[in-house]
Structure 1
Amino acid sequence: MNPLLEVQRLDTEADQIRHTREHLPTRAALEEARREQAEHQRRIEEIAVERLAVIERQRRLEGELGVLEERIAADERRLYSGEVAALRDLQALQDEIAGLRSRAGELEERILEAMETAEGLEARVDELKAAAAGVDARVAELEARLAAEEAELDAALAANRAERAERAAAVDPDLLADYERLRPGFGAATVVTFDRNCVGCPSSMPAVEADRVLHAAPGSVLHCEECGRIVLR
Structure 2
Amino acid sequence: MGSLDALIDVQTLDTRADQLRHRRDALPQLATLAQEAATRAEVEQRADVARGRLHELRQRQKGLEDEAALVEDKAAEIDRKLYDGSVVAHKELEAFQEDHRQLKARQADIEDQALEVMEAAEPIDAEVSALAAEVAQADERIAALTAEVESARGEIDAEAAVIASEREQAAANVPADVLEAYEATRSRMGGIGAARLVGNRCEGCHLEIPSAELEAVRKAADDAVVTCPECGRILVR
- The question of a shared fold, defined as TM-score above 0.5 by the shorter chain, is answered with yes
Structure 1: where are the runs of 5+ without partners? none
Tell me, in whole angstroms, the C-alpha distance in 1 between the residues paired with 2:90 and 2:190.
108
Tell me, in whole angstroms, the C-alpha distance in 2 between the residues paired with 1:78 and 1:188.
96
Q: Does residue 210 of the first structure (1) align with residue 214 of the second (2)?
A: yes
Q: Does residue 13 of the first structure (1) align with residue 16 of the second (2)?
A: yes
Q: Pick from 50, 54, 57: which aligns with 1:51? A: 54
SS at match of 1:189: coil
Deviation track 1:69-110 (CA, whole Å, cap 9, x = no partner) reads: 3444455667787734349x94x6666555444433331221
Amino acid at match of 2:25: E
Q: How many Å apart are 1:47 and its aligned residue?
A: 3.5
Q: Report sequence identity in percent.
A: 35
Q: Pick from 103, 114, 122: which aligns with 2:106? A: 103
SS at match of 1:26: helix
SS at match of 2:231: coil
User: 2:160 maps to what in 1?
Assistant: 157
Amino acid at match of 1:59: K
Deviation track 1:166-198 (CA, whole Å, cap 9, x = no partner) reads: 111111221111101110122343212233244
Q: How many Å apart are 1:60 and its aligned residue?
A: 1.3
Q: 8 Å contact 1:3–1:168 — kept in the other structure?
A: yes
Amino acid at match of 2:11: Q
Tell me, in whole angstroms, the C-alpha distance in 2 between the residues paired with 1:3 and 1:218.
13
User: 1:224 maps to what in 2?
Assistant: 228
1:180-199 equivalences in 2 (<5 Å): 180-194=183-197, 195-199=199-203
Tell me, in whole angstroms, the C-alpha distance in 1 between the residues paired with 2:222 and 2:22.
36
Q: What is the aligned-residue RMSD (CA, Å)?
A: 3.1
Q: Pick from 176, 180, 192: which aligns with 2:179? A: 176
User: 1:85 maps to what in 2?
Assistant: 90
Q: How many Å apart are 1:162 and its aligned residue?
A: 1.0
Stretches of 4+ aligned residues off by more than 6 angstroms: 77-82
Q: 8 Å contact 1:9–1:188 — kept in the other structure?
A: no
Tell me, in whole angstroms, the C-alpha distance in 2 between the residues paired with 1:30 and 1:153.
18
SS at match of 1:83: coil
Tell me, in whole angstroms, the C-alpha distance in 1 between the residues paired with 2:155 and 2:46.
37
TM-score by length of 2: 0.79
Amino acid at match of 2:215: D
Q: How many Å apart are 1:24 and its aligned residue?
A: 0.5
User: 2:141 maps to what in 1?
Assistant: 138
Deviation track 1:9-41 (CA, whole Å, cap 9, x = no partner) reads: 110110000000011112222233334444444
Tell me, in whole angstroms, the C-alpha distance in 2 between the residues paired with 1:21 and 1:203.
32
Tell me, in whole angstroms, the C-alpha distance in 1 between the residues paired with 2:203 and 2:36.
46
Tell me, in whole angstroms, the C-alpha distance in 2 between the residues paired with 1:203 and 1:224.
9
Q: 8 Å contact 2:8–2:236 — kept in the other structure?
A: no
Amino acid at match of 1:8: Q
User: 1:22 maps to what in 2?
Assistant: 25
Structure 2: where are the runs of 5+ without partners? none
